[in-house]
Chain A
Amino acid sequence: MDALLQQFFNFDIMMQASPIILRGFGMTLLLCLVVIPMGLLGGLAVALASLSPIRAVRWTTIVFVDLFRAIPPLALLIFVSAGLPFADIRISPFAAVCISFLLNNSAYYGEIYRSGIESIGSGQTDASRSTGLSATQTMAYVILPQAVRNVLPDLVSNTVEVVKLTSLASVVAFAELLYAADMARSVTYNASPITFAAVLYLIVLWPVVRLLSRLENKIEN
């Protein structure tokens, strides 16, 4: 038991590693601030394109969505960061993370928006168009506000997944929370720094997960 505590919950080592870990935590938050809005906007674009009246646009979008839902996010990240240099495109780990996250997250957020838009009855469009609003205005002021509200739990749930996904950035040496913790782990030969990182992830994500599961069960009741 003591060995377990020493190995996973060593307070001294955690304190020692805390400056580098907290800096990593800051980078994780920063990364979230970049990739979440990018994913939300990209997803919206994908959803609107997947409902386009032009068939070619619709089909291209569906292929895009299925392609990036089929590739594991880590594989996508590695292909982007290790593959692009072969095409003489040199990018930083941060850029590689942003590009692969944009592709992956747009596909997932896009599917959520689309199901929200499809959940709004055609009567709303009829009413809006009958008062002279254009198709674009109808989408912006009548359909989207309702659609987003309908799928808000799904959007939040996917955002939790995106925050968790940022940990993959450690694999391409972007100095976020898990990367910092794993550095500290390899120096101290002790897993406590990673436990520390886990606690930080929990502080951010546990309340959201709790809220989501209450929301889900409330809807079902």
Chain B
Amino acid sequence: MTQYERFLDTFFNPAVMAQYFPKIVEGLLVTCQIAILVVVSGILFGLALALLRSYRWAPVNLVIIFFVDIFRALPPLVLILILYFGLPNVGLTMSGYIVLWLVLTCVLAAFSEEIFWAGILSVDKGQWMASRSTGMSYTQTLLNVVMPQAIRLTIPPLTNRTIAITKNTALGMVIGVDELLNEATTAQAFSGNATPLMMGAIAYLILFVPVVYLGRYIEHRFAWRKV
């Protein structure tokens, strides 16, 4: 075998590819599923926290800020390991899937709360006054006047942050969630061949390159950088 043939046989082996293709696709679907769940629940949770924070009830805000800081400062893998290995011993057993979803949801919620909150603060005070002067309540003003303006500013940073956190679905491998990375490494171990790793890498690119491009497009589209 030449050098080149050996390379192909190790990294792009057709037989291995055919054998593990279904597994890789299964893993890709699981990754997609968790990703979508995390994006929806994480952003909604973060939005709810930011709206709640805007009422400025001191004790509530303290709790929100504490929550946000913790989930911004801790590595997600640390949180995943604590919950996955700690909770069963106190009688609460959660599947790896649920732990992964819960942790990533909280992390995304923490980051998106900060982004939404910065957006709310950025809306000019005059907008509040104008709206309140027409007889609208605080909540009406927040939902009808302030948020529509704030959301626009939050879209570029929120997109980038969401992409970064969604990629953390790969951490599921560590606690046995049968997502893409787990399927790829398992297949690599069984086959003794690097082809499944290549398939995994390509699958990630197929999944995330369009998302990264979407992020780029949105950043240009909504750019509000000062000149």
CA gap between A23 and B59 in the complex, in Å: 38
> Does B19 sit within 8 A of A, measured CB to CB?
no
> Does A94 sit within 8 A of B, measured CB to CB?
no
How many inter-chain contacts with C-beta < 8 Å in the A-B complex? 154
**Inside 8 A of A72's CB, which chain B residues have their CB?**
167-170, 181, 204, 208
Quick check: A82 and B181 within 8 Å, CB to CB?
no
Name the distance in Å between B81's Cβ and chain A's nearest Cβ. 5
Quick check: B90 and A7 within 8 Å, CB to CB?
yes
Interface residues of A in 146-175 (CB under 8 A from B): 160-161, 164-168, 170-171
Name the distance in Å between A127's Cβ and chain B's nearest Cβ. 16
Find A71's partner among B76, B86, B205, B213 (CB 8 Å cutoff). Answer: B205
CB within 8 Å for A206 and B69 given contacts A72-B167, A220-B118: yes
**0/1 per residue, A92-128, Cβ < 8 Å to B?**
0000000000000000000000010001010000000
Quick check: A191 and B188 within 8 Å, CB to CB?
no
> Does A79 sit within 8 A of B, measured CB to CB?
yes
**Inside 8 A of B204's CB, which chain A residues have their CB?**
70-72, 75
Quick check: B197 and A78 within 8 Å, CB to CB?
yes
Name the distance in Å between B67's Cβ and chain A's nearest Cβ. 12
Quick check: A190 and B118 within 8 Å, CB to CB?
no
Quick check: A178 and B75 within 8 Å, CB to CB?
yes
CA gap between A205 and B110 in the complex, in Å: 15
CA gap between A170 and B75 in the complex, in Å: 12
CA gap between A213 and B110 in the complex, in Å: 12
> Does B221 sit within 8 A of A, measured CB to CB?
no
* A-side interface mostly: helix
Name the distance in Å between B16's Cβ and chain A's nearest Cβ. 12
Quick check: A71 and B114 within 8 Å, CB to CB?
no
**Inside 8 A of B15's CB, which chain A residues have their CB?**
none
CA gap between A213 and B126 in the complex, in Å: 24
CA gap between A167 and B117 in the complex, in Å: 29
CA gap between A217 and B65 in the complex, in Å: 13
Quick check: A182 and B181 within 8 Å, CB to CB?
no
**Inside 8 A of A197's CB, which chain B residues have their CB?**
78
CA gap between A216 and B211 in the complex, in Å: 26
- Of all chain B residues, the one with the shortest Cβ separation from A198 is B78
**0/1 per residue, B73-111, Cβ < 8 Å to A?**
111111101100110011100000000000000000000
Find B200's partner among A66, A79, A161, A182 (CB 8 Å cutoff). Answer: A79
